[in-house]
Structure 1
Amino acid sequence: MNNPVLAFDETVRSRSSVRAFLPTPLSDEQIRAVLQDAQYSPSNCNTQPWHVHVVSGETKARLAKMMTVNDLEGRQTPDFTFSYEDFHGDYIERAYEQARLYYEAIGIDRDDKVRRKEAYLRNYQFFNAPHAAFLFMPSFGDNIRVASDIGMYAQSFLLSLTARGFAGIPQTMLGFHADMIRNELGVSDEYRLLFGISFGYADTSAAAANTRMPRVPVENSVVMHG
């Protein structure tokens, strides 16, 4: 099935991180079209350092179970650090606001630790998405340049999904169990796992698929010179 492709301005402004998907899978042709779009992403010196593993079906279900068990048992092996404690100032305030808006949208009170934990673990269920892409990268120097290339690839991937009528969400948490993911997917230790993207058709009946996060004015982020 061919999907209409949106104009760029509509695509980039309508993209959002969807946290509720229909189980309906995309066809191999549809997935390949998105991957082909992402392949045209820019990279430092045209190194094209992205190594992407797309999982569906039984493989995805197996990984979901293993990541959940690993997390509950406190066994995380991320290749790159992540902590809210590293944020400060406006950045941590935006993170808090994102969490507040999301939990309010799905009807979970701030003090409801049980339901918040359940919502947290839904990350490992890929929010019911039928597919997920794990983004691996080689390690060069301090990895900053390579990670920026992976970020540009991911944005191309996400915008292609949106333009074609699909949805996705980049998930840092899908990189928290790098050793296990590498082992299960047969990925060499020379590649580091940055994060993953769950994708498919948005479940538009769910608040988690319709919640949009605010953006600060351009003037808060950009200084014009000359």
Structure 2
Amino acid sequence: MEYDEVINGRRSIRGYLDKPVPKEVIKEVLELAIRAPSSMNTQPWHFYVIGGDVLNRIRKGNVERNMAGVPDSREFRGGDKYQGVHRDRQVEIAVQLFEAMGIERHDKEKRMDWVLRGFRQFDAPVSVIITFDKEVEGNDITTFDCGAVCNGIVNAAWSRGLGCVINSQGIMQSPVVREEAGIPDDQVIMMAIAMGWPDETFPANAVVSRRKSVDDAAVFVGFD
């Protein structure tokens, strides 16, 4: 694909075909992604590419612990709940997804099914767990770098016909992830990227999130 096709065509994929992804293709994706910019070339990221029975055990443990009320133990924490325009955008994409999936506001069963899909990393055949070295924990540039490599992964995957969705619901129970994936204690679990071949019949996969315009996002200074 041309670069513009990748950027303009990519969307978050939440429904996947039951079809394996070759290791060689994933390696191609990661080789492209690690060209992401990194502060002073520190490259703090690590990737744990999980599939098969290991991923199924992570799904099972994450779902069981969450449903049992075990507190969220994500190691890379978000801030306070979104407010104002940021909350509006969050609600807007949720409405788009629920409308596509036919989930009514008061349909508790379907809404719970959607939550469980998130806990299972949307049943994708592959999960890429991004971690970073604990010795640089607390450095904002580290998380900036890891965000850049996440962006690189989802775009490189799309260029190979693969879909992704960046999610943290599937790694809420970090002890399960750490044990099953063999992640050492000197690394911080940051994020997961579900990956696989898109199921074009899955309604939510057709949703394209609305983005604010360049005029709203950019201020040009010193231009005529």
2:163 touches 2:195 (CA, 8 Å); kept in 1?
Answer: yes
2:8 equivalent to 1:13 = yes
2:90 equivalent to 1:95 = yes
2:173 equivalent to 1:177 = yes
How well do the aligned residues superpose, as a CA RMSD in angstroms? 1.3
Question: In the alignment, what sits opposite 1:148?
Answer: 144
Q: For the structure 1 residues 152 and 8, does the alpha-carbon distance in structure 2 shift closer, same or farther, using more than 3 Å as the test?
A: same
2:134 equivalent to 1:132 = no
Q: Distance in 1 between matches of 2:23 and 2:146?
A: 23
Question: In the alignment, what sits opposite 2:106?
Answer: 111
What SS class does the counterpart of residue 119 from structure 2 fall into? Answer: helix
1:21 touches 1:202 (CA, 8 Å); kept in 2?
Answer: yes
Structure 1 residue 87: Cα displacement: 0.9
Structure 2 unpaired stretches of 5+:
none
What SS class does the counterpart of residue 120 from structure 2 fall into? Answer: helix
What SS class does the counterpart of residue 132 from structure 1 fall into? Answer: strand
Structure 1 residue 141: Cα displacement: 5.2
1:21 touches 1:209 (CA, 8 Å); kept in 2?
Answer: no
Question: In the alignment, what sits opposite 1:194?
Answer: 190
Structure 1 unpaired stretches of 5+:
1-5
Q: Distance in 2 between matches of 1:120 and 1:39?
A: 31
1:136 touches 1:191 (CA, 8 Å); kept in 2?
Answer: yes
Alignment partner of 2:207 out of 201, 206, 211: 211
The alignment of Structure 1 onto Structure 2 pairs a total of residues equal to 220
Residues 25-65 of structure 1 show CA distances to partners (whole Å, capped at 9, x for unaligned) of 11111111111111211111111111110111111111111
TM-score for both structures, normalised by structure 2: 0.94
Q: What is the aligned-residue identity percentage?
A: 27
Alignment partner of 1:157 out of 153, 156, 178: 153
Q: Name the aligned partner's letter for residue 151 of structure 1.
A: G
Q: Which contiguous aligned blocks of 4+ residues in structure 1 show a shift greater than 6 angstroms?
A: none
TM-score for both structures, normalised by structure 1: 0.93
2:47 equivalent to 1:47 = no
Q: Name the aligned partner's letter for residue 58 of structure 1.
A: D
Question: In the alignment, what sits opposite 2:17?
Answer: 22
